[in-house]
Structure 1
Amino acid sequence: MKVVAFNRSVQGTGASRRLRNSGKTPGIIYGSNDPALAIELDHNALFHALRKEAFHSSILDLEIDGKAQKVLLRDYQMHPFKPLVLHIDFQRVSASEKVHMRVPLHFTNADASDAVKLQGAALSHITNELEVSCLPADLPEFIEVDLGKIEVGHAIHAKDVVLPKGVTLVLHVEQENPVLVNARIPSVKAADAEAAPAAAAAAPAAEAKK
């Protein structure tokens, strides 16, 4: 994705407020052993870009005064109640250095699983992203998680996911192996299932009394 920005020569709280009033958003680029650079971006274009999933998890081509560089979105601040981006941070990336990034998960085949289709299980999504490490060229836009074979009472963990080539889990995720999604029978259905045998057993006794 391409992002257009401009050098920001004036800094400070007052300058940032005037910038926002003129339809711009202040920001900064840092990293890769180069000095941090203050920038400004068109607010409306940035606001719409932030609504796209890929903007948060992809290598971005940030163009400043006609020169492009590879960056990652690292942070942004929104106004507490207005649809207003107050500030945004980008980090430069090097083609030869691995990056750590949170990548969204796309869950597939949930409705096709026997747990859902035949047993009426509910799938609970515990997390919707994974933190991974890879070279910028290998960074996936998303990671697919196949739920087609999940079983009732079981869960899919981080280490169960098939990662794209060149992508690994970061160390703490590898060690913790968190649950991503689990399959459980809803409590109401479970209670009904337990009550059914008792009701069936009571039926002959009731008929006998008649």
Structure 2
Amino acid sequence: MQITVKASRRTEQGSRASRRLRRAGRVPGIVYGGDKAPQPITLDHNELYHQLNNEAFHASILTLEIDGERESVLLRDTQWHAYKPLVLHVDFQRVSADEKIHLNVPLHFIGGENSPAVKLGGCIISHVLTEIEVRCLPKDLPEYITVDLSNMQPEQSLHLSQLELPPGVEAVHHGEGDPVVATALKVRGESGPEGGETTES
């Protein structure tokens, strides 16, 4: 999926200028990285707000179009108002086709309701992780990673090292051990399929 983000160069900076932009329905931002200097930008608030509600927007190589000039970027940071649905600032990072990137990618769970753990073991499957950090070239970046739970057994856990990752993609884990991605938990008093499963992503 190709997602294009339209922006304009920003010349005025500082808190007062940012407040004026927000009152005018614009969001201040910046794009940095690569062999170019950081470029302050502005974006349409409503358009950006709707794009931020798209899961793929957070885990995709985006095409940032600044006054007609295009470059490939990643969304790196978004600042929100404390209690209003208002985007205050956004950061993008330029990417190079031949340099590996690190990014959190969402997990999509399938098959859990048909697993032995749920149908026969009276378990629920808890999704311990909802995303993982990956390292790959931009061309190999997946929008999401599918996690098949159809073979889960009662009281079994699925670990990060057991995930099937797309070619060219490796999982990144900071710390010791092998993190649990999902686990089948026995429900006290449940012995049949009514044990169910937690809501799938």
Q: When the two structures are superposed, what TM-score results if normalisation uses the length of structure 2?
A: 0.91
Q: Percent identity?
A: 51
Shift of 1:176: 3.3
| Counterpart AA for 1:5 | A
* Further displaced range: 47-56 or 117-126: 117-126
Matched with 1:158 is 160
Matched with 1:35 is 37
In the alignment, the residues of structure 1 paired with residue 136 and residue 39 of structure 2 have an alpha-carbon distance, to the nearest angstrom, of 25
Shift of 1:115: 0.8
Shift of 1:171: 5.1
In the alignment, the residues of structure 2 paired with residue 69 and residue 147 of structure 1 have an alpha-carbon distance, to the nearest angstrom, of 38
In the alignment, the residues of structure 2 paired with residue 8 and residue 188 of structure 1 have an alpha-carbon distance, to the nearest angstrom, of 62
Shift of 1:170: 1.9
Q: Summarize the alignment of residues 74-85 of structure 1 with structure 2, pairs less than 5 Å apart.
A: 74-85=76-87
Q: Summarize the alignment of residues 122-201 of structure 1 with structure 2, pairs less than 5 Å apart.
A: 122-170=124-172, 172=174, 176-189=177-190
Which structure 2 segments of 5+ residues have no match?
192-201
> Which secondary structure state, in structure 1, belongs to the residue aligned with residue 114 of structure 2?
coil
| Counterpart AA for 2:53 | R
* Further displaced range: 86-95 or 28-37: 28-37
Distance verdict in 2 for CA 1:178–1:171, change over 3 Å:
closer
| Counterpart AA for 1:11 | Q
In the alignment, the residues of structure 2 paired with residue 176 and residue 185 of structure 1 have an alpha-carbon distance, to the nearest angstrom, of 24
Matched with 2:6 is 4
Higher Cα Rg, which structure: 1
Question: Conserved in 1, the CA contact under 8 Å of 2:121 and 2:153?
Answer: no
How many corresponding residue pairs? 189
User: Which gives a bigger RCO, structure 1 or 2 (Cα 8 Å, sep 6+)?
Assistant: 2
**Deviations 1:33-58 (CA, angstroms, capped at 9, x unpaired):** 32111000000000000000000000
> Which secondary structure state, in structure 1, belongs to the residue aligned with residue 155 of structure 2?
coil
RMSD in angstroms over aligned alpha carbons? Answer: 1.2
> Which secondary structure state, in structure 2, belongs to the residue aligned with residue 72 of structure 1?
strand
Matched with 2:46 is 44
Q: By percentage of residues, which structure has more helix? A: 1
Matched with 1:20 is 22
Q: When the two structures are superposed, what TM-score results if normalisation uses the length of structure 1?
A: 0.87
**Deviations 1:88-144 (CA, angstroms, capped at 9, x unpaired):** 000000000000010000000011101101222011111100100000000000000
Shift of 1:172: 2.7
